[in-house]
Amino acid sequence: AMQGERRPPYSVRRESPAGNMILCFEGRIVTASQGNVALLSTILIVLVTGLFFGLSGPFVGERLGAGVLVLGALLSFFSLGFLLCAATSDPGVLPPATAWEGDHYLQGKAAYCDTVPPPKLWDVEVNGTKMQLKFCFTCHMFRPPRCSHCSICDVCVDGFDHHCPWVGNCVGARNYRYFFLFVVSVCAACVYFFSFALYHLIKSAREQDKSFGQGLGDHPSAIAVMVISFLTFWMVGGLSGLHIMLAASAITTNESFKHGQGYQSPYHLGSAWRNILVALLGPRRPSLVRNHMRSSLTNTLSV
């Protein structure tokens, strides 16, 4: 709970509901305008999946059973599904205020503020920990706890973790679970594809009475799958471990960079497992951007 003499005008910001972000279907889809790398992530997953199941899958399935292939298909499905959810979900963009609120606040006439110009900091208390809310001069509001302004998307995001080009979106309070599960799913898929592509090479060489080196030239697709899987795991594996530790500590990436080691989060629930469960399965706040667009549409139709 936050305590203070006056309540800061959280909702006062400029007209644009989502800065540089792209909104579709009345805010049901919210994504960053730079989605080229996210498209590359999708292509890599589809490419590795297609190479493995098209060329190595029949060999592996014939010798180890269809269950092994079902597992690989599920890992690819989850990787693509969580990528799509992270890339298209509202990360927690804060809603705009009306033009009247913004104009009056900037003129120092808001009922919440006694000074001109407005103060840059607002002292609050969160679960017994004192925190300072900073004023965002781009969005014209005090940012709530754990909120930060993304310079790429040009919005303030609640529970801001980081801007991730690999999913083409900000990662915040509303889509962090999807990002977390995407990273973990990709790591598991990399281990799967590397292991069974290697099994294909070794088993095929033995059945043909060849050495491992002699059999490499017979299956270039398996080698390609192993190389892509290894490089991807090398990049994503550490990221996955980092976010497991951060989620267990109830700390965002942004907070870890700002406060460094030893930071004790006021949102810690007393148990690492409980922190992770809440991060992945806890209730999500409604999309404030979607609510804003609905109210704007209603006001337009009523005029």
Residue 10 reports pLDDT greater than 70: no
Burial label, 210 (beta-carbon count in 10 A; 0-12, 13-18, 19+): middle
pLDDT digit string (tens) for 79-131? 999 999 999 999 999 876 555 555 555 555 444 555 555 556 777 888 888 88
> Would you place residue 217 in the very low, low, confident or very high pLDDT band (cuts 50, 70, 90)?
confident
* Cis geometry, peptide bond prior to residue 91 (ω within 30 degrees of 0): no
User: How do residues 27-64 score in pLDDT, each as one tens digit?
Assistant: 688 888 776 788 889 999 999 999 999 999 999 999 99
Residue 115 tokens read as 């000074």
Whole-model pTM? 0.84
Mean pLDDT of 176-195: 97
For residues 212 and 229, what is the distance between their CA atoms, to the nearest angstrom? Answer: 20
pLDDT over 70, % of the chain: 80
Q: Which residue has the tokens 């092994």?
A: 68
Lowest mean pLDDT of 84-88, 110-114, 230-234, 280-284, name the range: 110-114
Report, as residue numbers or ranges, the catalytic residues.
164
Q: How many CB atoms lie within 10 A of CB 100?
A: 8
| Lowest-pLDDT range of 95-109, 176-190, 197-211, 254-268 | 95-109
Mean pLDDT of 175-201: 96
Looking at residue 157, its pLDDT comes to 93
